[in-house]
Amino acid sequence: MTSPAKGGPAEGAPDVLVSARGLEVHFPIRSGGALRRTTGVLRAVDGVDLDVHRGETLGLVGESGCGKSTLGNALLRLVPPTGGTVTFDGADVTRMRRRELRELRRRAGMVFQDPFASLDPRRTVAQTVAEPLEVHGLHPGRQARAARVRELLQLVGLDPAVAARYPHEFSGGQRQRVGIARALAGEPDFLVCDEAIASLDVSVQAQVLNLLRRLQRQLGLTLLFISHDLSAVRHVSDRIAVMYLGRVVEVGPAAAVAAGPQMPYTRALLSAVPLPHPELERSRQRIVLRGDVPSPSRVPSGCRFRTRCPDVFQPCPDVDPALQPVGSAPGHVAACHLHGVVGTPVERERPDAPVDAGDPAA
């Protein structure tokens, strides 16, 4: 795999490990029956520009169905992009051949939501954690591999004595630790944690979050932390990216996004998060968005958030806003006409994207 530009990034510029440009994952919608004709397109990821900086935790938030998992999968080429590019450490992921792809699989892994579903019930913890070592030919020899498995279990806070046990003998939190140990076995640079705490008890969620934070620092990992839970994301992330209907609509340093969200959608998401101090919590004003998220097969023209936006105004139905610098923190960008820049005009109605009937903004 090729390295980034020789000598690394320019002084002051972030060192980017993973980068998406104009990334699209569109799924065909097919009719029933024998012919299975394509009747439309579902725009799960629809023109995402996003950089993940080396050594950071980037939180990716947004409502269910907005395309977070599909984006995470596309970055690892677990689903094929239908447009745009993804680079990993300077190499084009979409064009990788078998050998490069194998190396990508070692260097970039996934921690899944449901550790029970992602672990094979017939394999012991030792077999589960050792599998990537075998696949990638790491620590060859039975003893060396067993020693590495013990090391990995210790790294995630498990007693190495549990190596001979099966997944059903563990609690949810312990199983997630096994999943993390397995994800770390290839000594990856990058991990996508897709709703990695969502299926755990609240008391265990904090422990797993702290573990991920510690591992990130200790091993210099780069993490994409996907979650619909903005309070968890705020807790672990250096930067936050907000996704709406297949697009990244705001990105910035976690503190800046949390304290000064610039896109009305981000404001609404944040207003739903309970505040830790009772006084602040009493004065919290919840922004309730009207309507449901439109279907990704019927993306509104112009700004895709406009059908629910409390601040919708004249340019929103016609002009698709581009991400642009906002607020005072460096690196804080949002796609919103409230910030006064005209983006790329789009046709008002695309054939596969009719505007919802009764849409007040149409």
Ligand X SMILES: Nc1ncnc2c1ncn2[C@@H]1O[C@H](COP(=O)(O)OP(=O)(O)OP(=O)(O)O)[C@@H](O)[C@H]1O
Q: What is the DSSP letter of 288?
A: P
Q: Does 80 bind ligand X (CB under 6 A)?
A: no
Q: Nearest distance from residue 60's CB to ligand X, in Å?
A: 9
Based on its alpha-carbon atoms, the radius of gyration of the chain, rounded to whole angstroms, reads 22
Q: Does 213 bind ligand X (CB under 6 A)?
A: no
Cα 303 to chain centroid distance, Å, stands at: 22
Number of residues that bind ligand X (CB under 6 A): 13
Report the site for ligand X in 266-285 (rule: CB under 6 A).
none
Backbone torsions φ then ψ of 93, nearest 5 degrees: -65, -35
Among 32-40, 61-69, 209-217, 298-306, which window interacts with ligand X (CB under 6 A)? 61-69
Among 65-73, 92-100, 101-109, 156-164, which window interacts with ligand X (CB under 6 A)? 65-73
Q: Which of 66, 193, 232, 269 binds ligand X (CB under 6 A)?
A: 66
Q: Which of 57, 70, 262, 266 binds ligand X (CB under 6 A)?
A: 70
Q: Are strands 333-334 and 239-244 parallel, antiparallel or unpaired?
A: unpaired
Q: Nearest distance from residue 143's CB to ligand X, in Å?
A: 41
Q: Which of 26, 68, 145, 308 binds ligand X (CB under 6 A)?
A: 68
Interaxial angle between packed helices 172-184 and 202-219, expressed in degrees from 0 to 180 and rounded to the nearest 10: 20
DSSP 152-202: HHHHTT--GGGGG--GGGS-HHHHHHHHHHHHHTT--SEEEEESTTTTS-H
Report the site for ligand X in 14-53 (rule: CB under 6 A).
27, 42, 44
Backbone torsions φ then ψ of 114, nearest 5 degrees: -105, 100
Among 62-70, 212-220, 266-274, 286-294, which window interacts with ligand X (CB under 6 A)? 62-70
Residue type, 210: N
Q: What angle do CA 115, 227, 217 make, to 5 degrees?
A: 80
Q: Does 65 bind ligand X (CB under 6 A)?
A: yes
Cα 324 to chain centroid distance, Å, stands at: 21
Which C-beta is closer to ligand X: that of 249 or that of 312?
249
Which C-beta is closer to ligand X: that of 27 or that of 116?
27
Q: Which of 19, 69, 205, 307 binds ligand X (CB under 6 A)?
A: 69
Which C-beta is closer to ligand X: that of 9 or that of 28?
28
Q: Nearest distance from residue 26's CB to ligand X, in Å?
A: 9
- CA distance linking residue 353 with residue 49, whole number of Å: 21
- What are 233's two structure tokens? 């994301």
Which residues are near ligand X by CB under 6 A? 27, 42, 44, 62, 64-70, 228, 296
